[in-house]
């Protein structure tokens, strides 16, 4: 049992104030199933108030800040997260059940970095300028001016709650926008806590707002006439619903959606490196990573070796336990609902003829963890490339191993999917590296590595994995509007 659990109240954060409602819902601790918090559900009145506050802040103190001042505020927010590191870590662990050893090295540091990084990117990024020669010889000067898009609706997921929420809020605020955030109803705590940091560092009221709820609350934001853009990370089907909702008002949309990411192990790969990186990409965060690997194509000459070594990784490197134990690196999935989805694919895999090399069910602990949302890390062989398990996103700690014969075949197999978010492959042949990487239909391709991220680079997917790119200057296309100013030069 998590020590000293006290049920917390999670109000909405609107115009700098914490707003309770008469309608609450429980937030559960996935390790044991205990109630750890009650979130206050926002209705139309709360959403309207949040949007109105965000709209007013655009032309209030926030809109009047120079870019250097706004960037300084971004760094203050980053410092505020670091100052309250332990509070954010505790909130994230209670919502997600993930080990502290993982969250303290990934989720919380990135939560702060997303503000600090974009503070510098926006401050230092130049706009374009062109000199035009006109027929009369006078000439003209064209230059670009970027302005905030306006009120941004941020709809963020439950797998990396703080990291992925701030990945959107950071650049949005750095560009001068204001935001209304709807965190997942499963993991609402760190978004609420960030409201406290905003007040502590002096962010003007209305710049950052949080409303809690389920899909209907998100729909109130996406359809709101005073919201200028929607940025979303989540499942592809939900993204499609959002795009339909924003169509009547032609809101700008940035969508990072699902993936069924491929890994490839060529016959010349460094197998020690490949197995270690694939172990992370298949099982980190209990497989609940949009960039994770759910299908791995292994050259037939080394297939049995790689399969055996990946099973050894799952048996010996993944350690179940309570989040406070520093040796724990494998936790539950986020909810009973998601556990049941993952387990349904475990059952389907056997129906589709899979050989289960490891896992395939739910662990039994004989203690209070049996009330939590646990599944086993699972490795299959024997699945057809076009089976449902090998083509549909599971978003759990499960991987299908499939053999291949040659380079052209594996590129075709890797690209034969409706998704296109990420891929990773392993080879020591430099020519092959530069030959294969551009052929893979994915927004991010890692070579001899995985999840090695530079926040200045483009992030996003192809096909049904998303629309648009975030990261570095690429996000400016969504978070700002560009005006071209043309000045004729007199003769």
Report the catalytic residues.
Answer: 256, 290
What's phi and psi for 268, nearest 5 deg? -100, 10
User: Do 484 and 142 contact (CB within 8 A), yes or no?
Assistant: yes
Q: Are 435 and 425 in contact (CB under 8 A)?
A: no
Show the CA angle centred on residue 348, arms to residues 342 and 349, nearest 5°.
90
- Identify the CA nearest to 62 among candidates 128, 139, 131, 151: 151
- 67: helix, strand or coil: helix
DSSP state, residue 179: E
* Spatial separation of the C-alpha atoms in residues 479 and 173, rounded to whole Å: 9
Residue 332 and residue 372 in contact, taking contact as beta carbons nearer than 8 Å: yes
Q: Are 96 and 2 in contact (CB under 8 A)?
A: no
User: How far is the C-alpha of 114 from the C-alpha of 360, rounded, in Å?
Assistant: 37
Largest CA distance in the chain: 87
Residues in Cβ contact with 105 at an 8 Å cutoff, skipping those fewer than 6 apart: none
- Scanning 223-353, the segments in alpha helix (DSSP H) are 236-246, 271-283, 303-316, 336-351
Residues whose CB is less than 8 angstroms from the CB of residue 365 and which lie 6 or more positions away in sequence, other chains included: 320, 374
Q: Measure the CA angle with vertex 226, ends 220 and 232; round to 5°.
A: 55
Cα 271 to Cα 259: distance, rounded to the nearest angstrom: 25
Distance CA 488, CA 62 (A): 33
Report DSSP state, residue 255.
Answer: E
How far apart are the C-alpha atoms of 471 and 462, rounded to whole Å? 15
Tokens 């917390």, located at residue: 8
Closest to 169 (Cα-Cα) out of 146, 187, 185, 151:
151
In 10 A of CB 185, how many CB atoms?
19
**Rg (alpha carbons) of the chain, rounded to whole number:** 24
H-type helices in 33-188, by residue range?
Answer: 44-59, 67-83, 85-96, 100-103, 107-124, 161-174
Tokens 């004989």 belong to residue: 366
DSSP structure class, residue 377: -
């Amino acid at each position: 049992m998590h020590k000293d659990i006290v049920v917390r109240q999670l109000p909405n954060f609107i115009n700098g104030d914490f707003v309770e409602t008469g309608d609450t819902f429980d937030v559960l601790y996935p390790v044991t199933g205990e109630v750890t918090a009650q979130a206050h559900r926002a209705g139309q009145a709360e959403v309207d108030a949040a949007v109105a506050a965000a709209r007013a802040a655009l032309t209030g103190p926030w809109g009047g800040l120079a870019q250097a001042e706004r960037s300084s505020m971004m760094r203050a927010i980053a410092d505020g997260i670091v100052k309250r590191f332990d509070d954010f870590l505790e909130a994230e662990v209670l919502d997600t059940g993930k080990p502290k050893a993982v969250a303290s090295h990934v989720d919380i540091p990135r939560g702060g970095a997303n503000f600090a990084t974009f503070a510098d990117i926006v401050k230092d990024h130049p706009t374009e300028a062109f000199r035009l020669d006109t027929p009369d010889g006078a000439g003209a000067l064209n230059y670009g001016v970027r302005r905030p898009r306006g009120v941004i609706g941020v709809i963020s997921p439950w797998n990396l709650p703080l990291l992925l929420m701030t990945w959107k809020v950071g650049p949005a605020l750095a560009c001068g926008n204001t935001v209304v955030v709807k965190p997942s109803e499963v993991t609402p705590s760190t978004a609420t806590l960030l409201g406290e940091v905003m007040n502590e560092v002096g962010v003007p009221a209305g710049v950052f707002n949080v409303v809690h709820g389920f899909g209907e609350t998100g729909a109130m934001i996406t359809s709101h006439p005073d919201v200028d853009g929607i940025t979303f990370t989540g499942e592809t089907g939900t993204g499609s619903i959002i795009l339909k909702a924003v169509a009547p008002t032609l809101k700008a949309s940035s969508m990072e959606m699902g993936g069924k990411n491929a890994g490839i192990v060529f016959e010349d790969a460094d197998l020690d490196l490949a197995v270690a990186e694939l172990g992370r990409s298949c099982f980190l965060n209990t497989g609940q990573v949009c960039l994770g690997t759910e299908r791995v194509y292994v050259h037939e000459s080394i297939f049995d070796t790689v399969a055996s070594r990946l099973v050894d990784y799952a048996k010996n490197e993944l350690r179940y336990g309570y989040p406070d134990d520093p040796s724990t690196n494998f936790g539950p999935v986020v909810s009973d609902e998601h556990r049941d989805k993952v387990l349904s694919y475990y059952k389907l895999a056997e129906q589709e003829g899979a050989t289960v090399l490891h896992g395939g069910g739910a662990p039994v602990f004989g203690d209070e963890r049996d009330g939590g949302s646990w599944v086993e890390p699972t490795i299959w062989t024997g699945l057809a490339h076009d089976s449902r398990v090998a083509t549909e996103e599971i978003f759990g700690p499960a991987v299908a191993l499939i053999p291949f014969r040659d380079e052209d075949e594996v590129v075709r197999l890797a690209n034969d999917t409706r998704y296109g978010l990420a891929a990773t492959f392993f080879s020591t042949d430099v020519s092959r590296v530069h030959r294969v990487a551009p052929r893979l239909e994915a927004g991010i391709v890692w070579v001899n590595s995985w999840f090695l991220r530079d926040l200045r680079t483009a992030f996003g997917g192809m096909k049904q994995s998303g629309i648009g790119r975030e990261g570095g200057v690429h996000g400016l296309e969504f978070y700002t509007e560009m005006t071209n100013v043309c000045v004729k030069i007199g003769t």
